[in-house]
Amino acid sequence: MKAFDYVRVSTVDETLAHLRSPGAQLMAGGTELVNWMKEGIESPGLVVDITNLGLDSIESGPDGLRIGALATMSDVQADPVVNRDFQVVAQALLRSASAQLRNMATIGGNLMQRTRCPYFRANASLPCNKLVPGSGCAALEGGVTTSHAIFGGSDHCVATHPSDLAVALAALDASVVIRGDQGTRRSPIAGFHRLPADQPEYHTELRADELIVAVEAPAVPSPRKSHYIKVRERASYEFAVVSAAAVVDVEGSTITDARIAIGGVAPRPWRLWQAETALRGLSLDDAPRIRAAIAESFADARPLPGNRFKVDLAQRTAVRALRKAGTGA
């Protein structure tokens, strides 16, 4: 770890002023940045401590839910309104990391975490276009691809994004609230994390002179139900092999509206747009037609030799999340 300067700020304007310094990085809970620095992923010249900005409120009202970027994962997971009206968020957070990390890690930091691709985080110097643009992609050059993308990858990168929370928020049509020198803007969660294309070194839509101040999810009608399922290789403290967040409206047993996002399969939470359209009007009891509707969103899947199993596993997980959301069982 290289030497760096440190400053603690107390206002958003002060933060933005420091972000104009080349090499500045924000730190809140520190559960990601410290890892980046230890692993050589980042070597900031200036660490800007934003823990005193006061952006930790959890507010709900007629317009929906607003979570401050510095609210901890554990505080959001325990919030009674989140548990009552946005169950998918509470469930995703409870299945994230460990209790100790959730007590420190923030909502904004969770969305900003980097891929867990083993080649991106390797101790040895291996080809990775995210770390060194133009160096190649070890996964695509004969590497192990078990954990990699079946959607949204490119010839330059097939890494997946690890956030459970982002998947849940994508199913809720949530947005990231961003502040910069030009004012405040909003970025839909479903598009906040950038696809690699030919520039995989760019991770999100957040610019270097901006910071996340909140996450907003629109109000949820009272009959709407949701559920999050995470499939992982061990029972605790593990990233998803695949995951699914389902938000569904039903009349009796008939699906009137559905939103499904899946994780562990792409560089961002992956919405199943075609499936959402095909599911409307189907009965939750009609398992074959539900499976066929979900399959419509997998026509464009591009699995790699080591992760073909994800195509079937992700569909099964999405079906299960949808039916559990719809029935409450």
Q: Is 252 left (phi over 0), alpha (psi -120 to 50) or beta?
A: left
Closest listed residue to residue 262, CA positions, set 229, 290, 232, 295: 229
Check residue 39 and give its pLDDT: 87
pTM of the model: 0.97
Give the domain CATH number at 308: 3.30.390.50
The three-state secondary structure class of 286 is coil
pLDDT band at 235 (very low <50, low <70, confident <90, very high): confident
- Region 35-60 average pLDDT: 95
Measured N-to-C along each axis, helices 164-171 and 87-94 cross at an angle, to the nearest 10 degrees, of: 170
Q: Are 139 and 117 in contact (CB under 8 A)?
A: yes
pLDDT at position 209 over 70: yes
Q: How far apart are CA 320 and CA 290, in angstroms?
A: 10
Give the domain CATH number at 30: 3.30.43
- Region 204-223 average pLDDT: 94
Closest listed residue to residue 85, CA positions, set 218, 202, 190: 218
b/e 75-86 (16+ beta carbons within 10 angstroms → b): bbbebeebeebb
Assigned domain for 16 exists? yes
Q: Are 275 and 255 in contact (CB under 8 A)?
A: no
How far the first Cα of the chain sits from its last, in Å, is: 49
Residue 32 is part of which domain span? 5-49
Q: How far apart are CA 105 and CA 269, in angstroms?
A: 20
The phi, psi pair for 184, rounded to 5°, reads: -105, 140
The phi, psi pair for 305, rounded to 5°, reads: -55, -35
Task: Specify the residue for token string 């996964």.
Answer: 139
CB-based contacts of 36: which residues, under 8 Å, 6+ apart?
A: 42, 114
Check residue 131 and give its pLDDT: 94
Assigned domain for 99 exists? no
Rg (the chain; Cα; Å): 20
Assigned domain for 213 exists? no
Tokens of 287: 């398992």
Q: How far apart are CA 181 and CA 175, in angstroms?
A: 19
277-286 pLDDT, tens digit each: 999 999 999 9
Check residue 117 and give its pLDDT: 97
Tokens of 151: 């959607």
Assigned domain for 254 exists? yes
| Domain count along the chain | 2
Task: Specify the residue for token string 């939103």.
Answer: 259
The bridge status of strand 64-68 relative to strand 58-61 is antiparallel
Assigned domain for 83 exists? no
pLDDT band at 224 (very low <50, low <70, confident <90, very high): confident
Assigned domain for 73 exists? no
pLDDT at position 329 over 90: no
Assigned domain for 78 exists? no
158-207 pLDDT, tens digit each: 999 999 999 999 999 999 999 999 999 999 999 999 999 999 999 999 99
Assigned domain for 306 exists? yes
290-305 pLDDT, tens digit each: 999 999 999 999 999 9
- Region 8-25 average pLDDT: 96
pLDDT at position 130 over 90: yes
